[in-house]
A = this chain, B = another copy of it.
Amino acid sequence: MSSTPRPRIGIIGTGAIGGFYGLMLARAGFDVHFLLRSEYRAVVENGIHLNSAVHGALTLNPVQAYSNAADMPRCDWLLVGAKTTSNAALVPAITQAAADGAKILLLQNGLGVEDELRPLLPDNLHLLGGLCLICVHRAQAGVIEHQALGTVNLGYHSGPASDQEREQITAAGAAMFNLAGIDSTVAAELGQARWQKLVWNVPYNGLSVLLDSGTSGLMASQSSRELIAAIMGEVVAGAGACGYQIPADFAAKMLKATERMPDYLPSMYHDHAHKRPLELKAIYAAPLAAAAAAGCSMPRIEALYQALQFIDQRNSQE
């Protein structure tokens, strides 16, 4: 990377995820530009603050902040950390902020998010997905709490690249994060990576809302542990039906890894607490539809999804 000019990076959706990775990249010397909405004023005035159990207390100030994508310089990479529920609404901002041949990296969980966005994007843009294994949340405007982890597992979805160029792009993306002190790996198959991430997200996101509990509480009770394990088993079966073989010990490893984590409230818990829309389509509806199309039913996940839909609808009415 030494002789290559460092790419210009745009952050679309500067919440916990976008703020964390954007700040880390900016502090590593990358030219990072942040698109903000409700937090624009606070970030311009006070910068972005990261309270990290891993990296310590870090501040980025001043911030190259924008309230309008039209004012941003054209970026080589756009990191989208917004909620999946707002992807379609972000298309104009992405298109405006993207340089020719830009790489659009969705730092989002769930299934089908690239498939949904792709038809709305110009053909000259590369689309990638990135699965973030991280415990992070936004404490207040411009203030991010980072409890643990941070790995980004990224894969190429679609765009004008040849097979060889795809490998170069994903390797460059991982190297970019590595230079910022962040573990990053390349997924040969983005679909596989998304299903593997769902093994964690499907049980913990929904159950944290339904049972009003962080991960420590969920792991402390044998009943909820068994429920989580059963739901993980359904995700693994659904992935298998869709052609993605998840290693036999993967779910058990996720359970163990979660036990070692600090008590963590998944993003859906925070969305629920703030009566924001829950990411049900990406994390529940899309995997259920994909598995059903492959002849696989996931009854516990379907029940969880229906219960969460009830809660999401009630939140929207309050």
Chain A positions within 8 Å of B, measured between CB atoms, are 207, 210-211, 213, 217-218, 221, 223-224, 226-227, 230-231, 299-300, 302-307, 309-311, 313-314
Contact = CB atoms under 8 A, between A and B. Distances in A.
Contact of A306 (B224, B306, B309): B224
Main SS class of interface, A: helix
Nearest to A221: B310
Sorted from nearest, which 8 A-B pairs have the closest CB atoms? A223-B309, A227-B306, A299-B299, A300-B303, A223-B306, A224-B310, A223-B310, A221-B310
Stoichiometry (number of copies): 2
A203 to B, nearest CB: 10
A217 B307 CA distance: 12
Nearest to A303: B300
Given A227-B307, A230-B306, 9 more contacts: A210-B210, A210-B307, A223-B305, A223-B306, A223-B310, A224-B306, A226-B306, A227-B306, A303-B303
Contact of A307 (B211, B306, B310, B314): B211
Contact of A230 (B211, B224, B303): B303
Contacts of A223: 305-307, 309-310, 313
Contact of A313 (B221, B226, B311): B221
Contacts of A304: 303
